[in-house]
Amino acid sequence: MSRKLTGRQKSTLRHFAHRIGKYKPREIERMIDSIIVNDGAKTFLQIGANDGYYSDPLNLAIFSHRIEGTFVEPQTNYHRALRNTYAGFGGMTFLRCAIARQAGTMTMYTLDCSSGRLPGWACGVGTLSREQILKSGDQIPNIDAYIRSDEVNCITVDELLARSTTDDPDIIAVDAEGFDYDILSQFDFAKLSAKLVVYESDSMKPSDAASLGRVLTDAGFALIETGQDTIALRRDTHTFRASNAGKVAIAA
């Protein structure tokens, strides 16, 4: 039954369940809620937004607090679903493109889930790296038979910020399946006032993850590992001071 619901319908149900105490938010959802309620965050930038619902860290906060921002999703079908998920929400910008180091076109690789034989998570592994999508072969036999490719338009982070709802978002979320470093390394976090950044560190090379970690730490963030993702949280926020990581840092 759940598969027949749209992202908007599922988002509405989750929001309602949360309001009546029947939905337990994930750690990242709790932190984002705190950044909004206690630290005044009002805007976001999400790169790799899929349909706006599936495994999404911002969905609950957007439905609960109506924060404004920019979505980036290059896949036509998910971009269409994304716009439907947030139809009627004000202050939203929807960009159908990918983010890369240079503007132009690149090949995007996805998995064809139309047969119904692939696991649910397979719909969220669209990537500009064929090498990255092949890593799912340990869980999907004969993965080559399901790989599809398409050319997508790419822009740089500078152009993205120029086209976004705001050029200095409070929250940045990136899920680019192996391209998170290429994207995040373009941001000048020392000049931006972002309060929270979440990205998929599990798909990064260890050297890239370490390099990005140093940049974020030098810019005033604390890094919190949460499974496949890393949350970079400003040390001067109430949310950090109230978190377990903040309590440890203050006591040290």
In a domain, 30, yes or no: yes
In a domain, 227, yes or no: yes
Q: Which pLDDT value is given to residue 10?
A: 94
Let me know: does 103 contact 152? Beta carbons within 8 Å.
no
Distance separating alpha carbons of residues 54 and 240, to the nearest angstrom:
26
In a domain, 38, yes or no: yes
What band does 245 get if pLDDT is binned at 50, 70 and 90?
low
pLDDT digits (tens, 9 = 90+) for 148-198: 999 999 999 999 999 999 999 999 999 998 899 999 999 999 999 999 999
Does the global pTM surpass 0.85? yes
pLDDT digits (tens, 9 = 90+) for 39-52: 999 999 999 999 99
Helices 76-85 and 7-19, packing angle to 10 deg: 40
The two tokens of residue 73 are 């999703």
In a domain, 221, yes or no: yes
Q: Which pLDDT value is given to residue 204?
A: 92
Tally of domains within the chain = 1
- Please report, for the domain that includes residue 166, its CATH number: 3.40.50
Strands (E), 98-220: 98-99, 104-111, 147-155, 171-174, 196-200
Q: Which pLDDT value is given to residue 171?
A: 98
